[in-house]
Structure 1
Amino acid sequence: MELPDGPKTPPWLQTLQWIFRPLETLEARARGYGDTFRALGQQMPPFLYFSSPEALEAIFTAKTDQVSSAEGNQLLEPLLGENALILLDGKRHQRQRQLLMPPFHGDRMRSYGSLICEITQQISRRWVLNQPFVVRPAMQEISLRVILSTVFGLHEGQRYEQLRHVLVNMLEAFGSTAGFMLLYYRFLQKDWGAQSPWGRFLRQKQQIKQLLSDEIDDRRAHPDSDRTDILALLLAARDEAGQPMSDAELRDELMTLLFAGHETTASALAWALYWIAKLPEVRSKLKAELDSLSPDADPMTIARLPYLSAICQETLRLYPIAINAFPRVVKQPMDLLGYSLEPGTILLPSIYLAHQRSEVYPNPKQFRPERFLERQFSPYEYLPFGGGDRRCIGAAFALFEMKLVLVTLLLQSDLELASHQPIKPVRRGLTIAPPSHLKMVVKRSV
C-alpha cells in the first residue's frame, strides 16, 4: 500500500506551523487525512504520524532491530549530552535503563514524600492573601527545588544556588519559541560569543556540567552510606558485570533528570490547579475526598486517592506535556497497518491525537476525571509518558510528586483564578504548557 497522504504545503511552512501552532496543526491534519498522515510533503525520508491504538501498539512493541528510538532524538544531544538515556539504543540503552530505574520506584520513592510536602509548604507560605501570583513560575520553583533536593540532596549552599540560577536561566531561554528553534535548526547553532543565543547556551551548559562534575567528584571522594538522594543511589549502582556508571554517563543522565523532571511537572501542576479552580464540581468532589483524610495521612495514602489520581490522569490526557512520543526510525523493511515502510522512515506516535479520539474518550475536549474511574485504558490509548521501552522512567515519581504538591496546596490554601477568561495551551520549548499570564489568588491560608 502506498504511503499515507498529507498536506502539499511547502515543508518549511509546515515546520513553522508545527512550531508556532502545534495543536491546531495536528488537529487540522487529523481532520483532513485521518489517523495516519504524512508530514513535510514528499521529503525523504518520509515523516509519518500515527495515533490509532493499533498503530501505537505495533510501534511500541516493534523489535529493536526493526526500529531505532535514539536516532530520532539526536536534536537533543546538544542539550543533554551523548550519554543521555534517550540517545542510546540496544544494549547500552538497556544497561542504563536498568541502572536508573530503582531510585524511581518502591520504598526509595516513598522516602521523598515528606520532603515534597515540606518544600511545597515553604514556597506557598510566601504567597500573599488576595494578591495574584503567576502560576507556572511558582510551580517551577517547587519542582526545581524538589529535583535539587531529591536528585542531589542539595537544599542550600553555594552549589545549590549556582545550579538553581543557571538552570532557571537556561530553561527560560529554551522555553521560548526562539530557544526551541535553536535546537530544531542546526544552522542557528553558531557560537558568535557570549551574547549570542547559542554562545550563551554553550556557556550555561558548561557551567552546569562543571557543577555536576564537582558534585560527582565530591561524592566519590567522600562517600556517605546514609545518603538517600538519587545521585547517591546512582553512584552505588552496578550493572550485571559489576561496573558502575562513568562520570560522563552520570553527568548526562543528571542533565536529563534536571530538564525532563523539572519543566514537565511544573506545567502539569499548573494545568491541574487551573482545572480544579475553574470547575466547581471537580473542586467539590476533590474537597470531599480530601476531607476524608486523617490528619496524619502518610504520602502513600494520599497518592492512592482515587479522584485525585483521576484528576492528574485527566490533566495529562487533555493537554499532554509532550505532544508526541519519541520518534522511531525504521531500520529494516517492515509492514505497519498495511504500509510497506523502508529503512529511514520516521514514525511519529502522536500522544495528543491519541488522547483526542472520541471513540475512546467521548467529548474529548471536556475535562472529566470520572472517565478514569469508569474504565481502564490500554497503554496504546493513554500514554502521557510515551510508550514501549522508551516510556519515561520517572513517570511514577512525577505522578507521586504531582499528587502531593496538589494536596499540600489545597489543604493549606483556597486558590481561585484571578481571571475566568479561558486559556489555551502554548508551546514552551519542546513541550506544551499553560500560558504565562495564568494567575491565581490565595483567598484563605491555613
Structure 2
Amino acid sequence: MKLPDGPKTSPRSLSHHFKTDPLGFMDAMNESYGDIFTIMAGSTPLVIVSNPQGMKQIFTSAKEITASGKLNQGGALLVGSNGLLMLDGLRHKHRRQLLMPPLHGNRVKAYGQRICQVTEKVMNDLGSGKSFYAYPTVQKITLEVILQALFGLHSGERYEQFRRLFSNLLSFARSRWLSLSLSYPFLRQDLGRWSPWGYWQSLQRQFNKLLQSEIEERRSQADRDRTDVLSELVFACDETGQPMTYEDLRDLFPSLLLGGQDASATAITWSLYWIHRLKDVRERLLEELDTLGESPDPMSIVALPYLSAVCNEVLRIYPTQVVTFPRLVESPIEVMGYELSPGTVIRGSIYLTHQREDLYPEPKEFKPERFLERQYSPYEFLPFGGGARRCPGEALALFEMKIVLATILSRYQLALADEKKVEKPKAIGVNYPPASGLKMVILGERPRQERSHQLIVSSANP
C-alpha cells in the first residue's frame, strides 16, 4: 500500500488543532500536503481528498469504496441506531426513498407561503431600531419551517409542545455538556434531570412520548391530504413489506431536525452577513428582487439567477457539510496514483474543494458572479455532499434559504451593528456559524415607494 504523505505530529496534537480550529487545520494540511493527504487515526489510515477527480472516485467507485454505516456509529447516541446515517444497503436505499417525496418537488413548493409568514412574524417581533443577533433569530425561523415540513404542525397544543421540546432538545444537542458525555462513557450516568446525561435522557423520553402519541393519532385518523414527512411515513412499509416499527420511524427524524434547523440557519446567517457587508452585492440583489413586484410567487423568487448565485457562494465558503461522511475501502483501489488497501477510511474535504484557486479564483473573496459565469460539476461544487450519503433535505434547504432571504431583504432594512468587524466561523456541532452570532440592527420596514422606484428604474433599464 502506498499512502499519500501526511503529518507526523502526535495524534493528540492533531486532534487538539482540529477541535480548536477545524477549518484552519484543513487549510494548514492542504498547504503542506496538497489535495490528498493521510492522517493516522490509531492504526487506521484516514485519507482526505479535495481534488475533484478524487471526489468523483469516492462517489462512483461503489464496489471498492462503500458508504459504510458502521463508520457513523459514534452518532447513534445522538440520532438513534435506525437513522439513515447508520443504515447500509437495501435498508438505507429504501428509507432514503421514503423521505425524498415530502422533501422535494411540489411538496416543497407548498411550504413557500408558510415560510414567508413565519419570517415576517419573527422579524416583526424584533421591533424597529433594536439590535438583535441574527443566528438565534434565524434559528427560530428554521425551527418553525422544520416543524411544518417534518410534522405538518403550525398551530395548536401539540404544535406548542413540539416547538418547546425541540427548542430545548436542539439547544442541548449543541452543548458542551452533551459533547463531553458522548466523548467519555463514564459521564453517561442518569443522575436525574439536573445531571447532563440525565437531562438528555429526559428530553429523549419526552420526545418519544410526544412522537408516539402523534403517530397513534395519525394512524387512527388517516388524512391522505397531508404532505409532511411524518404523514408519509406512518403508513409506509419497510424494505420487507412490513409496517415500519416505532423505533424505525423515530430514528429517521433526529438528523433531519439537526440539519434542518442548524445547517439552514447557518447558511442564512452568513448570507445576511455578506449581503450587508458588501454594498454592491446588496444593491444588485435588491434590484433583482424588486423586478418581481409586491407579494411575488415563491417559485418566481427561487428562480432568480443572482439570488441563486449569492446562495451558492455562501454555501461554497461555508458548506453545510465541511467533509463528506467517511467511506471504507473494501477492496484495493488506486486513487490519484495511490494504492489504497482494504480497511482504509477515506473522506472528501468539501471545504478544501471549494477553496481551490483553479476552480474559484480568489477563493476567500465573496463573488457570487462566479456562479453566473461558470457551471460547476457535482464534484467541484458539493455543499450538501454527494453519492449515497448526500443530504436528503437539499431541495428544501435551498428553497427555504431563498424565500427567507427574499422576504427579509424585500420588507426590512437591516444593518450590521459593527460594519468593520470581520466575522469568523465557529464550530457548533458540524456547522460553522459566525462566532459572534452576528449582531445586526433592524432599521425598520423598507419603504414601499423605494421598492416601487427601483422597480420602475429596473424596468426602464433592462
Q: TM-score range by the shorter chain?
A: over 0.9
1:187-227 CA distances to partner (integer Å, 9 max, x unpaired)?
Answer: 54444443332232222122212211221111111111232
**Given the superposition, is the C-alpha separation of residues 17 and 190 from structure 1 closer, same or farther in structure 2, using an over 3 Å criterion?**
farther
- After superposition, the Cα gap between the structure-2 partners of 1:148 and 1:224, relative to the gap in structure 1 and judged at 3 Å, is same
Letter in 2 for 1:370: E
Contact kept in structure 1, 2:290 and 2:410, CA below 8 Å: no
Alpha-carbon contact 1:3-1:340 (below 8 Å) kept: yes
Which residue pairs with 1:2 in the alignment? 2
Aligned partners of 2:314 and 2:60: how far apart in 1? 26
Q: TM-score, normalised by structure 1?
A: 0.95
Cα offset for 1:242? 5.1
- The answer to whether the 8 Å contact 1:71/1:328 transfers is no
State the shift of 1:362 in Å.
0.2
Contact 1:356/1:365 (8 A) holds in 2:
yes
Unaligned runs of 5+ in 1: none
Q: Does the 8 Å contact 2:82/2:247 carry over to 1?
A: yes
Q: Deviations 1:404-425 (Å, cap 9, x if unpaired)?
A: 0011111110111011211100
Alignment of 1:20-35 (within 5 A): 20-35=20-35
Residues 319-398 of structure 1 correspond to what in structure 2 (within 5 A)? 319-398=318-397
Aligned length: 445
User: Whole-Å Cα distance in 2 between the matches of residues 218 and 100 of structure 1?
Assistant: 21
Which residue of the partner structure matches residue 271 of structure 1? 270
* Alpha-carbon distance between aligned partners in 2 of 1:243 and 1:296, rounded to the nearest angstrom: 46
Match of 2:251, SS state, is: helix
Q: CA deviation at 1:152?
A: 1.0
Letter of the structure 2 residue corresponding to residue 429 of structure 1: G
Matches within 5 A, 1:81-230: 81-186=80-185, 188-230=187-229
Do the aligned residues in 2 keep the contact of 1:180 with 1:430 (CA within 8 Å)?
no
Structure 1 residue 8 displacement after superposition = 1.9
Query: What is the aligned partner in structure 2 of residue 48 from structure 1?
Result: 47
Structure 1 pair 20/99, CA: closer, same or farther in 2 (3 Å)? same
Q: CA RMSD for the aligned pairs?
A: 1.9
1:36 counterpart letter in structure 2: I
Preserved contact between residue 264 and residue 397 of structure 2 (Cα < 8 Å): yes
Distance, in Å, in 2 between the alignment partners of 1:106 and 1:19 is: 38
Aligned position for 2:453: none
Q: What is the rounded CA distance, in whole Å, between the counterparts of 2:404 and 2:376 in structure 1? A: 25
C-alpha distance after superposition, 1:132-166 (max 9, x if no partner): 00111110000001111222121233332332223
Say if 1:276 and 1:283, in contact at 8 Å, map to a contact too: yes
Of stretches 9-18 and 189-198 in structure 1, the one that deviates more from structure 2 is: 189-198
Structure 1 residues 188 and 5, CA, compared in 2 at 3 Å: closer, same or farther?
A: farther
Report how far residue 20 of structure 1 moved: 1.4
Q: Deviations over 1:14-43 (max 9, x none)?
A: 1122111101111011111111112246x2
1:156–1:389 distance in 2 versus 1, CA, 3 Å? same
**In structure 2, what is the Cα distance between the partners aligned to 1:194 and 1:283?**
47
Indicate whether 1:15 and 2:33 are aligned: no
8 Å CA contact 1:64, 1:90 repeated in 2: no
Per mean C-alpha deviation after superposition, the further-off stretch among 131-140 and 210-219 is: 210-219
Which residue of structure 1 aligns with residue 36 of structure 2? 36
Query: Relative to structure 1, is the Cα distance of residues 181 and 406 closer, same or farther in structure 2, using a 3 angstrom cutoff?
Result: same
Q: CA separation in 2, counterparts of 1:387 and 1:324?
A: 10
Q: CA deviation at 1:236?
A: 4.1
After superposition, the C-alpha distances for 1:105-150 in whole angstroms (9 at most, x for unaligned) are 2111111111111111111111111110011111000000111122
Q: 1:8 to 1:187 in 2, by over 3 A?
A: farther
Q: What is the match of residue 281 of structure 2?
A: 282
Listed one character per residue, the Cα deviations across residues 314-335 of structure 1 (whole Å, up to 9, x for unaligned) are 0010111321111112223322
Q: Per-residue displacement from partner, 1:157-183 (whole Å, max 9, x unpaired)?
A: 333233222322232233245544444
CA–CA distance in structure 1, aligned partners of residues 328 and 212 of structure 2? 33
TM-score (norm 2): 0.92
State the AA in 2 paired with 1:412: R
How far apart in 2 are the matches of 1:7 and 1:341?
Answer: 18
Contact 2:150–2:229 (CA<8 Å) still a contact in 1?
yes
**Cα separation, 2, equivalents of 1:3 and 1:172:** 40
Look up the match of 1:438.
Answer: 438
Out of 294-303 and 368-377, give the one that drifted further.
294-303
